Amino acid sequence: MGSAHSSCSLLTTSSTEHFCFPQSPICVSKLRPANQNQIRSIKFTSHSFRCCSSLQNLPSRCNQVGEFETQVKSLKTMADIHGIDQELLNKIVYDALVWSSLHGLVVGDKSVKRSGTVPGVGLVHSPIALLPGSFPETHWKQACELVSIFNELVDRVSLDGKFLQESLSRTKKADDFTSRLLDIHSKMLQMDKKEEIRLGLHRSDYMLDEKTKLLLQVELNTISSSFAGLSQIVSKLHSDLLDQYGEVLGLDSRMIPENNSGKQFAEALAKAWTEYNNPSTVIMIVVQAEERNMYDQHWLSVHLRKRHNVKTIRKTLAEIDREGELQSDGTLLVDGQAVAVVYFRAGYTPIDYPSETEWAARLLVEQSSAVKCPSISYHLAGTKKIQQELAKPNVLERFLDNKEDIAKIRKCFAGLWSLDDKDIVKKAIEAPDLFVMKPQREGGGNNIYGDDVRKTLVRLQKEGNVEDAAYILMQRIFPSVYPTIFVRDGICHKDHAISELGIFGAYLRKKDKVIVNDQCGYLMRTKVSSSNEGGVAAGFAVLDSIYLT
């Protein structure tokens, strides 16, 4: 259930205020008031911003002692964030950009041609929110408690081949990509292929609905659940910024939850490698040919090497087809190296399969004895159609025994419907703004909103073919809107935003023994409130972290 249903784009709106940095230096030593009384007595001042397209006016470090003349006060709530004095704001942005560069909070710069293929070429800081976003602690705990239940649910659904094939049978007729995935799954069923070691690195995405105050699931990602590496770092950035400026802002870094997502994902991969029980093997990361988010992936490789002494290799599907071979015992060799675990950071979108070569590689991996993350059945269990099927009455009971667990999951389900539900389709045509149309696609930028929902539904009704099976309808979630400060390409601007919380989870089972079923940190993605689509790598969202309230 891949990309975010409401996603994040930094579209410029009339409310957006841009600024560039003044040349006057700011003295760090004078930013922190002497005591809390001083904090309460200081006032914010409001400033307009000047547009800026470069970093040439960034302030230099203060090299002399002087009075910090700008007056600030502590933030009563995070909602006061737009009232931070400009001079202080400039300083925080400057330090955030330096910190990001020094700590690897980076992505490839799209303006540099080789940035997606050659490491270290064309780096730019990851798009970020300058300060963490508020999130209720009760809903944070609820999201964390759901992780182990969803992990178990995915595993049990993956084992029910008949359910997967039947649930996706109409989708197969309408969607070529899903059809090819189902063909591979069907071949594995015919082979009676057993995955004795099953590894899932998942991310369940939620929004907090403003009207109902309910935490509602947007989707559950079972393939290429990205940003575990960088999420950990942005949480550390925000924590360090609040350690430095928290007293002046009236914010406490201890209210940012600990986030070790990169380390924990790496630990789960290492445990799967250990269970494979061949110390001469490697973990293979399946990557896209051009990957500007490679540093998020490389952080996992660093943790695997330093903490677990496990070697990783990076290969595209085309390279796997060219260099891969299957030995008689099922061992997968790629470029002469035995592979214990295959970690997919590609293969979730049709553009990853431009030819039969890539499909042959996917089949080769699936036929092998290597641990797949995800296996084809885990991949299919994460499709939007399966998400919609699980929301039907009495379907969860097919896979889960605990009534309390079932109730917890049902509570977070948004409305989900098939397009063969004529009453819902009629309502969506009449009130399209209350619905989202989702195809069976991952990665952001695929969903249909607003009047396009009505137009698409009317067209599908007129054509009367099976194309409607390629979509589901979902209740549109309307989360709270709050002020934030975005930083992208070294340029900062104020706007109003909404956020999506993703909770990472790891699940590892060997035969009947569950080895790992853990919550593994989180991803907070924030976008301007006027945007529909989401995804940081897709260019819509920024990375953020949580400030518990």
Q: Using one digit for the tens of pLDDT, what is the confidence trace for 192-228?
A: 999 999 999 999 999 999 999 999 999 999 999 999 9
Q: Is the pLDDT assigned to residue 45 strictly greater than 90? A: no
The one-letter amino acid code at 141 reads K
Confidence of residue 399 (pLDDT cuts 50, 70, 90): very high
Same domain, 489 and 467: no
Give the model's pLDDT for residue 534: 53
Q: Is 476 labeled as ligand-binding?
A: yes
* 307 annotated as belonging to a binding site for a ligand: no
For residue 437, which of 411, 423, 416, 464 has the smallest C-alpha distance? Answer: 416
226 is catalytic: yes
Residue 448 sits in a domain whose CATH number is 3.30.1490.50
Confidence at 470, pLDDT banded by 50, 70, 90: confident
Q: Each residue of 445-466: pLDDT tens digit?
A: 688 989 999 999 999 888 877 7
The average confidence (pLDDT) of the chain is 86
Q: Any known ligand binding at 228?
A: no
Q: Is 385 tagged catalytic? A: no
Q: How many residues are listed for the chain in this entry?
A: 549
Q: Are 181 and 244 within one domain?
A: yes
- Rounded to the nearest 5 percent, the helix, strand and coil shares of the chain are 40, 25, 35
Which residues have C-beta within 8 Å of that of residue 121, sequence separation ≥ 6? 108, 112, 114, 115
166 in a labelled binding site: no
221 catalytic? Reply is yes
372 in a known ligand binding site: no
Q: Among 452, 476, 500, which residue terminates a domain?
A: 476
525 is in an annotated binding site: yes
| pTM to 2 decimal places | 0.85
Task: Confirm whether residue 50 is marked as ligand binding.
Answer: no
Q: Given this model, what pLDDT does residue 143 score?
A: 98
Q: Is the pLDDT of residue 390 over 90?
A: yes
Q: Is residue 403 part of a domain?
A: yes
Mean pLDDT of 132-145: 96
Ligand-binding annotation for 537, yes or no, is: yes
Distance (Å, rounded) from C-alpha 410 to C-alpha 376?
A: 26
Are 42 and 5 within 8 A, CB to CB? no
Lowest pLDDT segment from 55-59, 80-84, 332-336 = 55-59
Q: Are residues 109 and 166 in the same domain?
A: yes
Active-site choice (104, 161, 415, 443): 443
For residue 53, tell me if it sits in a domain. no
- Residue 496: inside a domain: yes
CB atoms within 10 A of CB 482: 18
- Going 221 to 443 to 182 to 415, the CA torsion angle's sign is positive
Catalytically annotated residue among 226, 239, 260, 532:
226
Residue 325 within any structural domain of the chain: yes
Q: Do 390 and 497 fall within a single domain?
A: yes
* Residue 525 half-sphere exposure toward CB, CA atoms < 13 A: 32
Tokens of 4: 């975010």
Res 40 pLDDT > 70: no
Residues 6+ apart with CB under 8 A from 127: 10, 107, 486, 487, 488, 489, 536, 541, 542, 543
Quick check: is 298 in a domain? Answer: yes
Query: 451 and 500 in one domain?
Result: no
Instruction: Tell me the pairing of strands 17-19 and 491-510.
Output: antiparallel
Q: How far apart are CA 236 and CA 253, in angstroms?
A: 10
Is 439 marked within a binding site?
Answer: yes
* Residue 28 resides in a domain: no
Per the annotation, does 477 bind a ligand?
Answer: yes
The reply to whether 260 sits in an annotated binding site is no
Q: Of the listed 384, 385, 454, 494, which one is catalytic?
A: 384
Say yes or no: 318 and 461 in one domain: no
- Do residues 264 and 162 both lie within one domain? yes
Mean pLDDT of 295-307: 97
Give catalytic status of residue 442 as yes or no.
yes
Catalytic residue among 442, 480, 521, 530: 442
Residue 210 annotated to the active site: no
User: Residue 223 annotated as binding?
Assistant: yes
State the pLDDT at residue 195: 95
pLDDT at position 83:
86
| 511 labelled binding-site residue | no
Three-state DSSP class for 418? strand
Cα separation, 410 vs 416, whole angstroms: 12
Same domain flag for 400 and 435:
no
Shared domain for 301 and 355, answered yes or no, is yes
Candidates 426, 354, 416; CA nearest to 391 is: 416
Report the distance separating Cα 205 and Cα 137, nearest Å. 16
Tell whether 57 is in a known binding site: no
Catalytic option among 438, 454, 494, 509: 438
Catalytic residue among 198, 271, 385, 525: 525
- Whether 526 maps to a domain, the answer reads yes
Whether residue 430 has pLDDT greater than 60: yes
Cα(79)–Cα(107) distance, rounded to whole angstroms? 29
| Mean pLDDT, range 290-318, rounded to an integer | 97
d(CA 338, CA 346): 20
Q: Quick check: 384 and 440 in contact, CB under 8 A?
A: yes
Q: Which of 221, 377, 529, 531 is catalytic?
A: 221
Spatial separation of the C-alpha atoms in residues 10 and 281, rounded to whole Å? 43
**Are 212 and 179 members of one domain?**
yes
User: What is the mean pLDDT of the segment spanning 73-98?
Assistant: 83
Last residue of a domain, which of 443, 459, 476?
Answer: 476
1 in any annotated domain: no
* 15 close to 549: Cβ distance less than 8 angstroms: no
Residue given tokens 């390279």 in the structure block: 319
The rounded distance, in Å, linking the Cα atoms of 125 and 56 is 16
Q: Is the pLDDT of residue 357 over 90?
A: yes
* Span 101-107, average pLDDT: 97
Domain endpoint, select from 449, 476, 503: 476
Q: Which residues contact 254 (CB under 8 A, 6 or more apart)?
A: none
For the question of residue 397 being annotated catalytic, the response is no
pLDDT digits 0-9 by tens, 514-547 = 999 999 999 999 998 876 655 565 557 899 999 9
Q: How many domains does the chain have?
A: 2
- Going by their DSSP bridges, the two strands 491-510 and 482-488 should be labelled as antiparallel
356 contacts: CB under 8 Å, gap ≥ 6: none
- Residue 345 sits in the same domain as residue 453: no
- 193 and 288, same structural domain? yes
Annotated catalytic residue 17? no
Q: Which domain holds residue 465?
A: 415-476
Report whether 384 belongs to an annotated binding site: yes
- Does 341 score more than 90 pLDDT? yes
3-state SS, residue 517: strand
Determine the pLDDT at residue 533.
55
